[in-house]
Structure 1
Amino acid sequence: MGAIVTDEGSKPEILSRIAQTTSAITKLKLIWKDRNITLRSKIRLMRSLVTSIFLYACESWTLTADIERRIQAVEMRCFRRLLNISYRDHISNQEVRNRIGQAIGPYDDLLTIVKKRKLRWYGHVTRSTGLAKTILQGTVPGGRRRGRQRKRWEDNIPEWTGLKLPDALRDAEDRKKWREVVGRASVAPLRSTRLRDR
């Protein structure tokens, strides 16, 4: 699937995923315009043929405010294409979400899915005994650079759970307890489109 791993963080990988997702949904425009296919079926097709491309290896991402905004934007782009809504129609994002909800009922938005997957993977690795756990919990000698620090992968865990890392680590050891934490923490607040990169 061509995942990109660099020392620049997750942004290059996520921008690549957005481009691939946009390309995939554009190639399927005949399906989105077909009036003989129900909206419910179109949403299922989008999740299996388009959303899966975007979510590949999302457990490894480090999310900033800018990246969260981009994830919400790509989801809206897909929904608008699905509903054949032009941006010139002046239909709000909330109205788009309402139409999707009416078709399939309550659903997790794309940002919430990314958060759930990352938190579940954190719990899975914490309970394991392999190399992934050593890498995740290991430290290296030396200090961090001066100035504002770049956001790290594990910084998202306390943000989303409200737990300090040692407490999150302890809770993740208990599968049932961690499942409850993931359920509570994964409700993604809608970010303002005016948020700048952090």
Structure 2
Amino acid sequence: MMEDGTPIYVNNTQIENVESYIYLGQRYCTRDKNQDKEIQRRITVGWTAFAQHRDIFKGNIGTRLKRQVYNSCVLPAMTYGAETWALTTQAKNKLAVAQAKMERCMLNITYRDRKTNIWVREKTKVTDVIGKVSRRKWTWAGHVSRIRDNRWTLRIIT
């Protein structure tokens, strides 16, 4: 439907008007410019990837293997599309909390064990999710800054 309420037809079929949709694995919303729902969805996808490898993360396997699986399977699922995120402090905290919980699961410890997140990170040595998001954003920015033709990415930014 167009902005004035006029429906759009393609081959005599009315196109459904939606406010949010998933395209190429990323959530887009036509009204809400806030990225919180997409970030929460990415955290959920990260937990799903984590659960798929539960046997590895919960098993008596070395931390090195757990770190490799986390960095190659869970972290990319959580940070897919991060190049376009406008991260707020609240969003960063949500990502960091989710990662800390996953790391504690990898070590089979809980908050009752009274271990700090710094101690947990020293043991797991996984890649920091906030650092990964930041690197992805800077890599994308560098890519766009090197574009010399008239592609849509450069036209949107300028």
Counterpart Cα distance in 2 of 1:108 and 1:46: 9
Unaligned 5+ residue runs, structure 2? 1-23
Structure number with higher strand proportion: 2
SS in 2 for 1:5: strand
In the alignment, structure 1 segments of 5+ residues that lack a partner are 102-106, 138-198
- Greater helix percent: which structure? 1
TM-score (normalised: structure 2):
0.76
Is it true that 1:84 corresponds to 2:108 in the alignment? yes
What is residue 122 of structure 1 aligned with on the other side? 141
For 1:83-122, what per-residue CA distance to the aligned partner results, in whole angstroms no more than 9, with x for missing partners? 1111221211111011124xxxxx6411011011101101
2:86 alignment counterpart: 62
Q: CA separation in 2, counterparts of 1:81 and 1:136?
A: 41
| TM-score where L is the length of structure 1 | 0.62
Which entry has the higher C-alpha Rg, 1 or 2? 2
Cα distance in 2 for partners of 1:84, 1:40 equals 15
User: Alignment partner of 1:71: what SS?
Assistant: helix
How do residues 89-168 of structure 1 correspond to structure 2 at under 5 angstroms?
A: 89-101=113-125, 108-128=127-147, 129=149, 130-137=151-158
**Which gives a bigger RCO, structure 1 or 2 (Cα 8 Å, sep 6+)?**
1
The alpha-carbon distance between structure 1 residues 19 and 108, as it changes in their structure 2 partners (threshold 3 A), is closer
Match of 2:53 among 14, 21, 28: 28
Distance 1:29 1:85 in 2: 15
DSSP 3-state at the match of 1:4: strand
Identity %, equivalent residues: 30
Amino acid at match of 1:133: L
Let me know the Cα RMSD of the aligned residues. Answer: 1.6
